[in-house]
Amino acid sequence: MTSQPTLTKADHGHGGPGGTGDPGSGSGLHAGLKNRHLSMIAIGGVIGAGLFVGSSSGIATAGPGILLSYALVGTLVVLVMRMLGEMSAANPTSGSFSAHADRALGRWAGFSIGWLYWFFWVVVLAVEATAGAVILEGWVPAVPQWAWALIVMVVLTGTNLVSVGSYGEFEFWFAGIKVVAIGAFIVIGGLAVFGVLPGVDSDQAGLSNLTEHGGFLPHGPGAILTGVLLVVFSFMGSEIATLAAGESEDPQRAVTKSTNSIIWRIGVFYLGSILVVVSLLPWDSESIQDKGSYVAALDSLGIAHAGQIMNFIVLTSVLSCLNSGLYTASRMAFSLGQRGDAPRSFARTTERGVPRTAILVSVVFGFVAVFFNYKFPDSVFLFLVSSSGAVALFVWLVICFSQLRMRKIIQAEAPEKLVVKMWLYPYLTWATAALIVFILGYMLTDTEHDGRKTVLLSLLVAAVVLVIAVVRQKLGSGQDREREQDEVAAG
């Protein structure tokens, strides 16, 4: 079994000797996340900034049928999270699916998917920091955009460096604002759709918008799959709760709870809010493309300053994504260091249980990516974004294959740990893997939305990482054999 991070309760102060957290010293991450932190991280994890800013292109492509695209991807995420929940409840770890792949499929798998996932999130740091800086510069033009990006990154880096509890507290409030905002949007919009919202008389709102203006599928059934390509990446982040659970007081309970609640979270926040949008306005309304789907929906109700309200909500989502992205990247780097797949310094922790080196290395790469965004937006940065775009699908595919193998391992070694079980195993697992492969294949046919370029560049980066993993594994095996031979000769 691969080495896992040692958990100690933060409030008991059981840090390692000297607070170094050196692997093997008995120190490590602290269980500093409270149940309310984990609950909000799980809820907020499925609400990315992409939901607010990216849904308008999906609506334009598929019309009201975008609901089926969201439902299809949502079902896929529910199934993948069920598999991940099964493995993580049995063995909670900050490495999550990377650590599971390490044991189930081999060292090469854990190494490859761990580094690809880390790469994805450090690029996301740059994307979100820039998005937040654009909004903040609009509010305070005296401060240049690059300075805002720097300020945001420094503040959240400081938060993550203090303790895991400070990360959890910030995320609790960031996610709370998102949840309240979407909840209020659904309630207010729903009342308007049925014509019972006091003081509002919207002549455009109504369920008839779902079938009029060209029908429910104005561009045909094929648009559903195209919509899938546009919305699939907004779901990345659902798995963060399983990584964070490793630093909670009751990891198994946290994983079980987040896994069981994923269905209603996706149903309410994604399907519910998008249903309200396409019911309040005709899908082909120019305002949806000009202003964004949620701003256009609020404007249609005559809500004053709708654009600024949504900017605040998007900024909160951006900060939440940045906060969680830095946390997630650093914990994956920590886990890789624990398993010897990254420099051992990555696995050292402070006396507060914070993997300082893993955090700083992650944020440095994030800063470099921000620099590329400002200096080479159409070349280097575009490559970084495109080459990390399909990583979400790679991660989900690896989770599928890991679960197929890990179920047998858990049943053989500790069947009592199967407190969460994948439905209809192994048939539904194979069906989920087939669907992911189909989506990747379909992306290769998509030239209009850069799907082909995204998959090819992501495969290129994945191939490079995989080659490094295989070479390292072979070199390591050779060194192990030489060590064994030396021991035999000495004996």
* pLDDT bracket for residue 112 (50, 70, 90): very high
Q: Is 3 inside a domain boundary?
A: no
Domain-embedded: residue 420: yes
Which DSSP string do the residues of 46-71 spell out, in sequence order? T--HHHHHHHHHHHHHHGGGHHHHHH
pLDDT, position 111: 95
Give the residue-averaged pLDDT of 15-30: 48
Q: Is residue 159 part of a domain?
A: yes
Tokens of 463: 């191939």
Nearest Cα to 309, choosing from 128, 181, 129, 175?
181
Closest to 392 in 3D by CA, of 76, 42, 59, 52: 76
Of the ranges 111-120, 232-241, 289-298, the best mean pLDDT one? 111-120
pLDDT digits (tens, 9 = 90+) for 259-288: 888 888 888 888 999 999 999 999 999 988
Query: 376 lies in a domain?
Result: yes
The string of pLDDT tens digits covering residues 339-384 is: 999 999 999 999 888 999 999 999 999 889 888 888 888 888 888 8
Given a cut of 60, whether residue 15 has pLDDT beyond it is: no
Q: Residue 403 — left, alpha, or beta (φ > 0 → left; ψ -120 to 50 → alpha)?
A: alpha
Q: What is the model's pLDDT at position 491?
A: 54
Query: What is the model's pTM?
Result: 0.87
Decide if pLDDT at 186 tops 60. Answer: yes
Residue 3 predicted with pLDDT over 60: no
Is 282 domain-assigned? yes
pLDDT of residue 19: 35
Q: Is the pLDDT of residue 439 over 50?
A: yes
- Phi first, then psi: what are they for 216, rounded to 5°? -70, -30
What is residue 483's predicted lDDT score, i.e. its pLDDT?
A: 52
Residue 15 DSSP class: P
> In this structure, is residue 12 part of a structural domain?
no
Is residue 325 domain-resident?
Answer: yes
**CA dist 277 to 155, 202, 262, Å?**
34, 13, 22
Mean pLDDT, to the nearest integer, of 81-107? Answer: 91
Please state the rounded mean pLDDT for residues 173-182.
89
Cα–Cα distance, 409 to 402 (Å, whole number): 11
The residue range of the domain holding 136 is 32-490
Q: What is the pLDDT of residue 26?
A: 38
From residue 476, alpha-carbon distances to 107, 334, 340, 366, 482 in Å are 10, 20, 11, 30, 10
Q: Which amino acid is at 19?
A: G
Residue 52 lies in a domain: yes
Q: Using CA atoms, how far apart are residues 87 and 434, in angstroms rounded to an integer?
A: 20
The pLDDT tens digits of the residues spanning 465-490 come to 999 999 988 887 655 555 544 544 55
The C-alpha atoms of residue 312 and residue 317 are separated, in whole angstroms, by 9
How many CA atoms within 13 Å lie on the side-chain side of 395? 31
Domain CATH number, residue 420: 1.20.1740.10
Q: How many domains does the chain have?
A: 1
Determine the pLDDT at residue 25: 42
